[in-house]
Amino acid sequence: MTILEFARSLAIGMAGLAAFLYYVAHIGEKGASVDAKDRLRRTFQSARVTPRFRHAFIFFLTASNRYFGARIFSQRAVVRSVALSVAWMSAVFVGFALFDHTYVHWFFIVASGAFAWQAVALVCACLLSDFLSVCITRSLVMFAFKKGRTALFFAAVFDVLLCAAVFYVFFSATKLVVAPDLTPQSPSGALHAWISPEGPSIAAVLPDRPTLGKQGGPVGEIATSFSDLFEKIKVKGGRVEIIYWFPDSILFYSSLLTSIWMWLYVIGYWLLFFAVRLDGVKRIVERNSNVDNDPFHALAWVILIAAIATSVISIFIFAMVKMFVL
């Protein structure tokens, strides 16, 4: 679906919502009793969403401190970071395994002992990078909170880039230690392979080819799937020795989830921002409509304006996702 198609579908939905709200408000004004209208009027005039969303903002802002503790570096922070990272890895692995049974096959092979030391070393490197990423994220959250709205967007983007860079450095360095015959991947090449995986990454060498040994040559070329590996073996010929087999994407996506504390703050901030504006819209509707005699239409206007604003935000988010992810 293109951005224009998405916007068109939302516009059609908004038109249908406007017709529905008008119909319901018209029926309510004609059929509701005086007492029902009076109760709706009092509820409409006294309702404020800002206080509730302010509590949500404070809850999201302080979520990381409640979980990790007030200090950035502490034993509690380390232990809870490791526990949360393991939970993220497990959840992402289950999600991948539901759609690709190659991951299940890899898990049982590793559980039997093959490539187990590689897996342990890479997971430990990821746990360390995740803790550093969490420290960076929590520091940026405090920085953005002190600097205000102007720093919020840049802090969120910078946080994702830093977390990805930390993961790349730690994971790539550890990969070269556990599989020294591997050809290092560039940041762009690694990112492409991690974002769009075709099963656990696998690499192999051809021991019966002297030019493909440690003396030089394209040793340990990464393949994105079994079919890719077999195609390369078919082209090069010879006996193959698998030197690396690990689902890199699992750890990459789980490492990105360390930024959840920043995104909780961003979500809480924009919910509060939206709530303040919604209360402002309600006040404008109160001043420019006959709420005492026509509370149904006043409420319908507020709902419609809120829905239109949400649609505009949805189009922006869809465009960003389309641009950077899809």
Q: What is the pLDDT of residues 286-324, one digit of tens each?
A: 787 777 777 888 888 888 888 888 888 888 878 877 665
Indicate whether 63 belongs to any domain: no
Whole-angstrom CA distances from 53 to 5, 125, 151, 157, 317 are 32, 38, 21, 24, 21
Indicate whether 281 belongs to any domain: yes
- Span 123-142, average pLDDT: 89
Distance in angstroms (rounded) separating the CA atoms of residues 227 and 234: 10
What does the DSSP 8-state code read for residue 325? T
**Does the pLDDT value for residue 84 go beyond 60?**
yes
Q: How confident is the model at residue 325 (pLDDT cuts 50, 70, 90)?
A: low
- Span 23-27, average pLDDT: 82
**What pLDDT does residue 233 have?**
47
> Are residue 123 and residue 247 in the same domain, yes or no?
yes
> Are residue 277 and residue 289 in the same domain, yes or no?
yes
pTM tops 0.85? no
- Span 144-167, average pLDDT: 82
Indicate whether 223 belongs to any domain: no
Indicate whether 68 belongs to any domain: no
Q: How confident is the model at residue 212 (pLDDT cuts 50, 70, 90)?
A: very low
> Are residue 45 and residue 124 in the same domain, yes or no?
no
Residues whose CB is less than 8 angstroms from the CB of residue 138 and which lie 6 or more positions away in sequence, other chains included: 64, 65, 68, 72, 261
Q: How confident is the model at residue 103 (pLDDT cuts 50, 70, 90)?
A: confident
> Are residue 194 and residue 275 in the same domain, yes or no?
no
**What pLDDT does residue 83 have?**
92
CA 222-226-227 angle, 5° bins? 105
The residue behind tokens 């502490």 is: 74
> Are residue 49 and residue 80 in the same domain, yes or no?
no
Indicate whether 91 belongs to any domain: yes
pLDDT: which is higher, 133 or 204: 133
**Does the pLDDT value for residue 218 go beyond 50?**
no
> Are residue 90 and residue 195 in the same domain, yes or no?
yes
> Are residue 246 and residue 109 in the same domain, yes or no?
yes
Distance in angstroms (rounded) separating the CA atoms of residues 114 and 250: 19
- Span 167-179, average pLDDT: 88
> Are residue 198 and residue 92 in the same domain, yes or no?
yes
**Dihedral in degrees, nearest 10, Cα atoms 173, 177, 179, 182:** 50
**What pLDDT does residue 47 have?**
78
Residues of the chain above pLDDT 70, percent: 85
Domain count, the chain: 2
Q: How confident is the model at residue 215 (pLDDT cuts 50, 70, 90)?
A: very low
What does the DSSP 8-state code read for residue 225? S
> Are residue 272 and residue 315 in the same domain, yes or no?
yes
> Are residue 20 and residue 112 in the same domain, yes or no?
no
User: Radius of gyration (Cα) for the chain, nearest Å?
Assistant: 27
**What pLDDT does residue 235 have?**
44
User: For residue 302, what are the domain limits?
Assistant: 3-57+260-324
Indicate whether 187 belongs to any domain: yes
Task: Round the average pLDDT of the chain to a whole number and report it.
Answer: 79
**What pLDDT does residue 217 have?**
36
Indicate whether 135 belongs to any domain: yes
Which residue type sits at 86? V
Signed CA dihedral, 291, 295, 301, 303: sign only: positive
- Give the highest mean pLDDT range of 15-29, 77-91, 153-167: 77-91
- Could you tell me if 200 and 244 are in contact, meaning their C-beta atoms sit under 8 angstroms apart? no
Task: Burial-class residue 272 by CB neighbours within 10 Å (0-12, 13-18, 19+).
Answer: buried
> Are residue 126 and residue 53 in the same domain, yes or no?
no
Whole-angstrom CA distances from 59 to 55, 67, 89, 218, 269 are 6, 12, 25, 52, 11
**Does the pLDDT value for residue 237 go beyond 60?**
no
Indicate whether 46 belongs to any domain: yes
DSSP string, 88-99: HHHHHHHHHHHH
> Are residue 109 and residue 249 in the same domain, yes or no?
yes
How many alpha carbons lie under 13 Å from residue 156 in its C-beta half-sphere? 16
Q: How would you list the strands of the sheet with 201-205, edge to edge?
A: 221-223, 201-205, 241-246
